[in-house]
């Protein structure tokens, strides 16, 4: 969802290159030569310090020492910048230089959640924050990830981090963790993240070819662009007593939306509840804890640890709940459940308020502070999260109580799957069998069993086509027939 422009420490590379091109400076003024030599000495000192600290767990200096180092480095960087400004033959794009230096500062921290969004890319970021955009219905990591291909050559791809339901991407079967390698046949490794986003967007009704790498397989699917409205909360009654609540992310309006949903579901006779947090990337921690407070009375919810330990906080729920304690809760999680969604999952389970069903979550247990900075934005990791159990979320994830594997197209099915999805046979079948019934889905499975695709995958392909032809009001949110995790949750809630 968020963008990190990658810059490979050009300052260091520039200084190293200069050692081998010293003749360039032979005709410079003594003042220029002295400036450069001083910069080089500073860089050599920093390199020695880096080597001496290698292998140690932490060499975090005190605040005073850190301030001294920053002051020294900024003075050196200013002298270098002034030197370039005085001697560089061509025009200098000062805005581009500023963005590059700011980007390099954050990139050097080597934390994928800490980054600088340049002014050129801020409009794309702001567009994502509004929740409405045109395209395919995905968030993808704007950090290019190094992925080892079969030839052991490092290639830079775009990582899908979230797929929104009832969108072109979800109907195509994209999942969080898929790698986008090509857009309309063009490799993405040379594109900026902003260029990738721009190429995926376009006029509603037009198509775009997306090539996906999933483990050892690769396939290309043609998707039709739609206007995508990113929801935060969806809900319905599954039957007379079981309710379904899907939270897609935790934004400022999610709290009121969840509160309204729970009140409505309660008025409809809710006795048990499925909370779907699959592919939820997280969001506002305060909103998440307020939602947990609706279910949990007078217990510990979360501990937050900062660099400055005096800022550490332990959050506890208030006395009393909005949701009746007798309401049985099952939470759906998967590999795309991250950050605040992992907090809600763990604190609900740790306080005995819910059972977790699905697959182990993403494993993001740190908090970022996002701020506007000039015409851009910054995101910086400032704290870590610890759930009531004391378990580690960061890098580990939250494990389910009832494990249900996510339905994923297997390598040996991919060719047939791509051919079927890119062709017209699914549409032709539904044209001839327009009613969405169990009998017609079963008929579809029988008719296309020759493809070698598993029955459960064929069922979802048929379901998606039927769903695509329904209005929003007609389309069910909870699929207790062909969604394995949702079905498992429903069956669990019906147990005595």
Poorest-confidence range of 37-51, 129-143, 274-288, 427-441?
37-51
How would you label 326-359 residue by residue, b for 16+ Cβ within 10 Å and e otherwise? ebbbbbbbbbbbbbbbbbbbbbbbbbebbbbbbb
According to the model, what pLDDT value does residue 389 have?
96
Residue 168 phi/psi, 5-degree rounding, is: -55, -40
pTM for the predicted model, two decimal places: 0.70
DSSP 166: T
Per residue in 306-353, pLDDT (tens digit) is 999 999 999 999 999 999 999 999 999 999 899 999 999 999 999 999
Quote the strand ranges of 277-386, DSSP E.
300-306, 313-316, 328-333, 355-358, 366-373, 376-386
Name which of 309, 307, 289 is nearest 299 in CA terms. Answer: 289
Poorest-confidence range of 147-151, 226-230, 254-258, 338-342?
147-151
- In this predicted structure, the answer to whether residue 45 has a pLDDT above a threshold of 50 is no
Mean pLDDT score, 406-430: 89
CA–CA separation, 378 and 117 (whole Å): 6
- In this predicted structure, the answer to whether residue 234 has a pLDDT above a threshold of 50 is yes
Question: Dihedral, CA atoms, 131, 132, 136, 137, nearest 10 degrees?
Answer: 30
Residue 330 phi/psi, 5-degree rounding, is: -125, 130
- In this predicted structure, the answer to whether residue 149 has a pLDDT above a threshold of 80 is no
List the end-to-end C-alpha distance of the chain, in Å, as a whole number.
Answer: 41
CA–CA separation, 300 and 350 (whole Å): 9
- In this predicted structure, the answer to whether residue 47 has a pLDDT above a threshold of 50 is no
High-pLDDT (> 70) share of the chain, %: 80
Mean pLDDT score, 120-143: 64
Around Cβ 475, how many Cβ atoms within 10 Å?
15
More confident position, 472 or 289: 289
Q: At a CB cut-off of 8 Å and minimum separation 6, what does 473 contact?
A: none
Per residue in 306-315, pLDDT (tens digit) is 999 999 999 9
Encoded tokens for 288: 């998440």
- Which residue shows structure tokens 């969108």? 167
According to the model, what pLDDT value does residue 252 have?
85
According to the model, what pLDDT value does residue 143 have?
46
- Which band of pLDDT confidence, cut at 50, 70 and 90, is reported for residue 354? very high
According to the model, what pLDDT value does residue 304 have?
95
**What is the residue-wise DSSP string for 359-410?**
S------EEEEEEEETTEEEEEEEEEEE-TT----TTT----SEE-------
According to the model, what pLDDT value does residue 43 have?
40
According to the model, what pLDDT value does residue 363 have?
95
According to the model, what pLDDT value does residue 124 have?
61
DSSP 475: S
CA–CA separation, 325 and 323 (whole Å): 6
- Which band of pLDDT confidence, cut at 50, 70 and 90, is reported for residue 62? low
- Which band of pLDDT confidence, cut at 50, 70 and 90, is reported for residue 438? very high
Average model confidence (pLDDT) for the chain? 82
Poorest-confidence range of 58-67, 201-210, 237-246, 301-310?
58-67
């Amino acid at each position: 969802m968020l963008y990190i422009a990658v810059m490979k420490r050009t300052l260091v590379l520039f200084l190293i290159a200069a050692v081998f091109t010293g003749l360039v400076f032979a005709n410079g003024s003594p003042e220029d030569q002295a400036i450069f030599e001083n910069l080089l000495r500073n860089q050599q000192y920093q390199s020695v310090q880096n080597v001496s600290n290698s292998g140690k767990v932490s060499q975090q200096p005190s605040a005073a020492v850190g301030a001294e180092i920053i002051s020294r480095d900024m003075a050196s960087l200013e002298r270098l910048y002034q030197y370039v400004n005085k001697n560089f033959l061509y025009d200098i794009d000062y805005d581009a230089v500023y963005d590059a230096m700011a980007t390099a500062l954050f990139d050097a921290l080597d934390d994928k959640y800490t980054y600088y969004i340049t002014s050129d890319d801020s409009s794309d970021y702001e567009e994502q924050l509004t929740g409405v955009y045109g395209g395919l219905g995905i968030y993808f990591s704007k950090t290019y990830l190094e992925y080892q291909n079969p030839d052991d050559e490092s290639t830079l791809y775009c990582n899908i981090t979230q797929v929104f339901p009832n969108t072109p991407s979800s109907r195509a079967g994209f999942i969080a963790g898929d790698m986008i390698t090509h857009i309309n046949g063009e490799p993405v490794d040379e594109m900026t993240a902003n260029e990738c986003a721009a190429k995926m967007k376009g006029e509603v009704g037009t198509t775009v070819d997306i090539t996906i790498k999933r483990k050892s397989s690769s396939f290309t699917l043609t998707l039709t662009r739609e206007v995508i409205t990113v929801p935060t909360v969806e809900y319905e009654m599954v039957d007379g007593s079981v309710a379904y609540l899907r939270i897609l992310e935790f934004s400022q309006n999610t709290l009121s939306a969840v509160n309204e949903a729970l009140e409505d579901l309660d008025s409809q006779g809710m006795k048990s509840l499925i909370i779907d947090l699959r592919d939820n990337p997280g969001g506002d921690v305060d909103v998440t804890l307020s939602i947990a407070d609706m279910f949990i009375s007078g217990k510990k919810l979360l501990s937050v640890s900062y660099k400055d330990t005096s800022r550490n906080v332990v959050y506890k729920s208030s006395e009393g709940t909005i949701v009746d304690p007798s309401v049985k809760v099952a939470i759906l999680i998967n590999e795309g459940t991250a950050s605040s969604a992992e907090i809600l999952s763990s604190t609900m389970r740790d306080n005995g308020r819910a059972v977790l069903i699905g697959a182990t979550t993403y494993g993001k247990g740190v908090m970022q502070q996002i701020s506007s900075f000039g015409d851009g934005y910054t995101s910086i990791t400032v704290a870590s999260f610890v759930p009531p159990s004391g378990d580690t979320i960061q890098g580990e994830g939250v494990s389910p109580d009832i494990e249900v594997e996510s339905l994923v197209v297997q390598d040996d099915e991919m060719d047939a799957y791509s051919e079927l999805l890119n062709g017209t046979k699914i549409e032709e079948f539904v044209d001839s069998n327009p009613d969405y019934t169990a009998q017609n889905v079963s008929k579809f499975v029988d008719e296309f069993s020759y493809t070698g695709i598993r029955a459960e995958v064929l069922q979802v392909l048929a379901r998606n086509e039927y769903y695509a032809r329904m209005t929003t009001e007609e389309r069910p949110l909870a699929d207790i027939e062909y969604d394995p995790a949702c079905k498992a949750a429903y069956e669990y809630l019906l147990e005595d």
